Amino acid sequence: MDKPVITQAMIDAYDEYTHLTLDRRGFMERLSKLAGSGAAAAVIVPMLAANSAQAAIVAEDDPRLKAEDVSWPGADGEMKGYLVRPADQTNKLGSVIVIHENRGLNAHTKDVARRVALEGFDALAVDFLSPLGGTPPDEEKAREMFSQLDPAKTAANGVATVTWLKGQDWSNGKVGAVGFCWGGGTVNNLAIASPDLVAGVAYYGAQPKDAAAIANVKAALLLHYAGQDERINAGIDAYKAALTAAGKEFTVYVYDGAQHAFNNDTSEARYNKDAAELAWGRTIAFFKEKLA
């Protein structure tokens, strides 16, 4: 079978399945119709989904880094995560919280944390499913767990994480956060909840529901959006208007032709190398400016 063509309708169906109300059976039925057969749909699914077997950009045992599993007090119980620091760190550095997509703390998110650390930061990839026992090996099960999280408690756990990082003796006291998809929305909410967050980068993240609360934002924000992401992009104008009215520091970039999750290089159909590299360069420059 020739390599199938991935259409926008297929990507939209996958997005509805992973983020909205379409269940797996409904998704496969729709994809089969779009692809022309169940066999073609079966080939396409792995191309749409993230592939956990994809090679890491930065190896787990990279000698330039020191990585460890850590825990700290959350707002109501223990939080867990993956802390990565430069192996030769002698001075205090800015800290970056890395927030996962709606699959939980997986190998890809840990890889992103290592990439951040190589840029000269202490990076903490947080498992926001910690209150539910942590991210399970089955990513489909992990996705289902997100509906059980209380948004207010999630924000409070984010605030507790900022406080913990800020107080470490290897930290310079400046904390930023970067999040993707679900994590992008979490960064937006964390900026409202934490007065100590210095910088927030949200990749295709849902905008805060309470526009009035945006007045509480203290952090500078860098907001990346995908041009083909109608679901998320519907909220951009209102978010920009609220941030502007409140006098907040923010920058918005929309990457033409890119799909939701364009930064995730383990997803063959949605990864956009040009957009990902441009957004990443802007992200690292932003953190180097704000967290120095």
93-103 pLDDT, tens digit per residue, is 999 999 999 99
Q: Where are the domains of the chain?
A: 8-48, 65-290
Region 65-290: CATH code: 3.40.50.1820
pLDDT, tens digit, for every residue of 155-214? 999 999 999 999 999 999 999 999 999 999 999 999 999 999 999 999 999 999 999 999
Q: Would you say 17 and 27 are in contact if contact means Cβ atoms under 8 Å apart?
A: yes
Rounded Cα distance between 8 and 20, Å, is 17
Partnered with residue 156 across adjacent β-strands are none
E runs forming strands in the chain: 65-73, 78-86, 93-99, 122-127, 171-180, 197-203, 220-226, 250-255
Rounded Cα distance between 136 and 147, Å, is 15
Average pLDDT estimate for 22-27: 76
Q: Please tell me the pTM assigned to this model.
A: 0.88
- pLDDT score recorded for residue 136: 96
